[in-house]
Chains A and B, each alone.
Chain A
Amino acid sequence: MHFRLHGRLPAARRPARLRTLARRKLPLKYTDIDYLVFTDAAWFTFSSPSSSSSSSRFSGLLPQGSPYDRETYRYTPLLAYLLWPTTPAAAAWLPGPWVLWASWGKILFAAADLAAGWLLVAVLRRHRGLSGPRALQYVGAIWLLNPMVATISTRGSSEGLLGVLVAALLWAVHERRVVLAGFLLGLGVHFKIYPFIYAPAIVWWMDAERMGRGQRSSSSSSRSRNGGLLLAKLQRFVTPERVVLALVSLATFAALNVAMYALYGHDFLQHTFLHHVTRIDHRHNFSPYNVLLYLASAAQQQESTGAGGFKIESVAFVPQLLLSVVLIPLVGAKKDLAATMLAQTFAFVTFNKVCTSQYFLWYMVFLPLYLPNSSLTRRPRLGLAALGFWVAAQAAWLQQGYELEFLGRSTFAPGLWWASLAFFLVNCWILGLIISDLGISSSTVSISSTKPKRKN
């Protein structure tokens, strides 16, 4: 065959044929588009930029390329590294046919779900006074056998990794493993930004009494002095554990970012962090702001609708962060850390400017810790109503979204818009229930009674 195209695709595009080899064995309809983005990115990362013949036997082990060569890869390069076995570069090192390794990522994400489940069981048993079988029942029913969780992970979404990171963080905090907790917090924030909301809750929870330091004498003595009340309070607040947590988490976060910036430069900053600041979010999603953002982004482009009027979307971060970073941790953290983290995440996702069903996994991981003692299970009718409304509002939205996306009907307003507002209000109501439960939580009792003894 002597026919050649030489308006040839740039070097980075050539792997396409090879990559599809791997996909050939995958049931494509089931595979999430994101999984293709991750595996493509891993391919780019572990393929040498030039096909130099001098490359050593080990070249397939080194990340020589950049995951950001794959458009729409908006994650840390760590994720691409984790998917090394799905790349042809790994074929020489792994046993068995390489096409089987193409599903490695899905296995990894599903394993992460299992690991998260195991950690949740450990927290329930050791810190919430539940027996092993009971703990397993709850985690099994709410997390492991949750069809939403299983589907999202086996379709190849990486949210399962966040689930295990956050579960491990909660476990480490309960176990008073402060250094490990700091590391997990830094890693989590590097991975997906949002876990930073847990920092204030954990810090607030981690007071001297809880960490097994009797500081009663020093506090009473400082209280006697009049002028230094504030200073004394501050002194009591700054415990060694809190300092260690802050230092370790910041160091982890900074070290990872510096390393990635050194390797990938501005691409890393742009796609992993800055993209989330500049994105328009005009496409339809569950967020209450979504139709408004579509409207506003076009109006801003035309610059016709002047500067008049209050623009809620430009201050959307205020209610979101006020709730998830300040108010909920302040009121709840010392009462029930797991339920507080659930409420924080729920608030963060509910008030976010963009919201898709994958985000629901972020808070679902806490449900096995919260539901056993919640008003939603104590009053089954209430629980079923909450679930029913939550599902119904989503179903209404999905129906409108289907009409828009596949039938081409303009359902933006009022259909999609109303559905997203209804879903938002249902979420606020459920969030209110979770918060109310903080005030009557029984877990405080069980936590104090099952405090680990290893410090003594």
Chain B
Amino acid sequence: MRQRTTFFHRNEDAIDPASLQVSGRTLSGPSIKAVREDRFTLGLDELPAELQELLRLSQELYIRWASPVPYQAIGPWSSRLSPGLHVFYTPQADAKANVASDHELCLLLRRLGSVECSTPHKSFSRLPNDRFSHSTALEYYQPVYDLSNFVEYVVQYACAPSDAECKTRFDAVKQASSLDFSYDTISHVVKVTSLWGRQHQPLSISAPASHRVEVGLLTPNEPPHLEQHEIGVTGLLTVLGEDSKPAPTMFTFPSRHKQANTGFSSTFLTPTGLHPTMQLHIDSNQPPMEEDSYCALHALLTLPRTIFADKYQLEDTLFLASKNLTALQYISQPVDLEAPDYVMDIWGSSVLLELSTPVTESKEGFTAEIPLHLRYQSPQHGSESTFEVPYPAVFWACAAEEGTKFPSSPFDRINLGYDGLFGPRTLFWHLDPVAKSGSDQLVIGGKVPVLDLDKSRSINTVTSIVVVVGFAWVVYRLLMVYLRTGYGVAQPVKAAEKKQQ
């Protein structure tokens, strides 16, 4: 196992390097206002047996969790996902393995929270798989907003029952802003990464004898030759147990994800009815790069199956323009436009929309509106159920210069659900999600009217009675006609009678 812990702080939050103390396998210092990332690299044999089993049956597996609590991202960790649990998965091509892993993966996921996944075959959506695409085959999402179940699972496996210090260390993960698990058959290692947003962090790290720990204290740096797709950093690196004092370092690396340094918020217009409209407030209409590069603002919606977008409705350019939308660029398949929530197995759908930004000289905020539709939900006690939708990920996608390469960087994330939908030379400039006033979570929602079970006890009986009464009345009328005139032509008498009128 290897561990890499990185603190990334703004220049003004720097601490005096002299205050850092390295003694033996421990580094300590004053607390620092920074983003912290812990990355653990593990071999397969270091994992629980059931997980080893699952990974042997998988080609790629990325499990990503993002917190519903807003956090400030700085430095290389600017890529964003909708809050909740995302799974990107490619099973082994072997069909036999497929069946087995089907079972295993959902079993594992269910340990991470109240996950409804039955099998990937039924519950996952398929990602586009053409020859350019470098994304996984399948996607799954579940609105899991809390990592306690996961932490309990890990503590059970990783900590001895008496080891309180171990438990405390893992407890900190409950406050993490994001948590990533990545595995692919090519590297054959598992990387687990947890990230805490910019806040005061205690600076005290000890390395157990069993594994190598590298600690970095980094801050942005802009050398004169820095390209727009690169990030420059400078700071101190320490390998615990090897270095006696932090070593200064300075480097640049290409990064596909950057910060747009502007924000957005999301809300539903009221009344939501059965056709809620999601409104996005974007703080600035100005693209993050100079005029000569092509940039377009996008929103990636992650919609649990209760709510969906109608791709046919989102085809009409006039309609889209009136909502400040340009086009529906991608929608996961299939999306049933008619089925009620309670007969579906699939998790939901993801929707990539290009937004149209009003062109103005100066920076200006604007809103875009996305029409969505609710499914019928199961009848229940009480007349209203609720639906929740995580904030979308909103970013500018810009074309990097001709010939730009993005070799794997030490910090970049790949397979986020949207990166595979763009070309390899795309730069993503992420907007910071800002919670609406009165809420501290990046989750919005509303009420879904449902049939109230308390008011429906008599529905079966009364409907049956009414139908039978209606039927009986019509049959009685038929019988009267039959008794008077039989089934043949109407009697001449009647006709004559009629003529007199």
Contact = CB atoms under 8 A, between A and B. Distances in A.
Interface string A1-21: 111111111100100110110
Contact of B340 (A71, A298, A302): A298
A295 B481 contact: no
A411 B460 contact: no
B378 A19 contact: no
Interface residues of B, number: 85
A38 interface: no
Contact of B499 (A3, A71, A330, A445): A445
A292 B469 CA distance: 17
A302 B495 CA distance: 58
B14 interface: no
Interface string B462-501: 1110111111011111101110110111101011011101
Given A334-B489, A421-B463, A297 B130 contact: no
Interface in B234-268: none
Interface string A60-82: 00000000000110000000000
Interface string A26-64: 001000000011001000000000000000000000000
Counting chain B CB atoms within 10 Å of each CB, which of A16, A350, A411, A427 scores highest?
Answer: A16
Interface residues of A, number: 86
Given A417-B459, A445-B495, A291 B271 contact: no
Contacts of B212: none
Interface string A290-319: 011011111101100000011110001001
A7 B128 contact: yes
B199 interface: no
B456 A413 contact: yes
Given A312-B460, A421-B463, A439-B481, A410 B383 contact: yes
A231 interface: no
A429 B337 contact: no
Given A20-B317, A332-B481, A3 B467 contact: no
A104 to B, nearest CB: 19
Interface stretch (B51-59, B301-309, B443-451): B443-451
Contact of B316 (A23, A409, A421, A429): A23
B319 A428 contact: no
B340 A8 contact: no
A177 interface: no
A335 B376 contact: no
A338 interface: no
A216 to B, nearest CB: 15
Contacts of A162: none
Contacts of A37: 312
B274 interface: yes
Given A36-B312, A280-B343, A291-B451, A335 B463 contact: no
A441 interface: yes
Nearest to B494: A440
Contacts of A427: 470
Nearest to A431: B474
B308 to A, nearest CB: 12
Contacts, number: 243
A330 B315 contact: no
Contact of B474 (A311, A347, A407): A347
Counting chain B CB atoms within 10 Å of each CB, which of A10, A297, A330, A404 scores highest?
Answer: A297
B422 A6 contact: yes
B449 A411 contact: yes
A438 interface: yes
B340 A282 contact: yes
A260 interface: no
Contact of A2 (B133, B317, B402, B448): B402
A414 interface: yes
B426 interface: yes
Given A298-B342, A405-B274, A410-B451, A432 B473 contact: yes
A190 B179 CA distance: 56
A28 B490 contact: no
A264 interface: no
Nearest to B466: A421
Nearest to A1: B294
B118 to A, nearest CB: 14
Contacts of B422: 5-7
Contacts of A297: 340, 342-343
B337 to A, nearest CB: 6
Given A331-B487, A432-B474, A408 B128 contact: no
B406 interface: no
Contacts of A13: 311
B226 to A, nearest CB: 22
A288 to B, nearest CB: 6
Counting chain B CB atoms within 10 Å of each CB, which of A19, A405, A421 scores highest?
Answer: A421
A149 interface: no
Interface in A368-426: 378, 404-414, 417, 421, 424-425
Contacts of B379: 294-295, 298-299, 412
Contact of B452 (A288, A404, A413): A413
A414 B455 contact: yes
A428 B397 CA distance: 61
B460 A404 contact: no
Interface in B109-134: 128, 130, 132-133
B165 interface: no
A323 B472 CA distance: 10
A410 B450 contact: yes
Given A334-B489, A413-B451, A444-B489, A292 B340 contact: no
A28 to B, nearest CB: 6
B421 interface: yes
A24 B449 contact: no
Interface of B: 128, 130, 132-133, 135, 271-275, 294-296, 311-312, 315-319, 329-330, 337-340, 342-343, 352, 376, 378-379, 383-384, 397-399, 402, 420-423, 426, 446-452, 455-456, 459-460, 462-464, 466-471, 473-478, 480-482, 484-485, 487-490, 492, 494-495, 497-499, 501
23 contacts: A3-B295, A5-B421, A9-B330, A16-B315, A17-B317, A283-B376, A288-B466, A298-B342, A299-B379, A311-B460, A316-B467, A331-B481, A331-B482, A335-B488, A351-B467, A404-B273, A404-B274, A408-B449, A410-B383, A410-B450, A410-B452, A439-B484, A441-B495
Interface of A: 1-10, 13, 16-17, 19-20, 23-24, 28, 36-37, 40, 71-72, 280, 282-283, 288-289, 291-292, 294-299, 301-302, 309-312, 316, 319, 323, 327-328, 330-332, 334-336, 347, 350-351, 378, 404-414, 417, 421, 424-425, 427-429, 431-432, 435-436, 438-442, 444-445
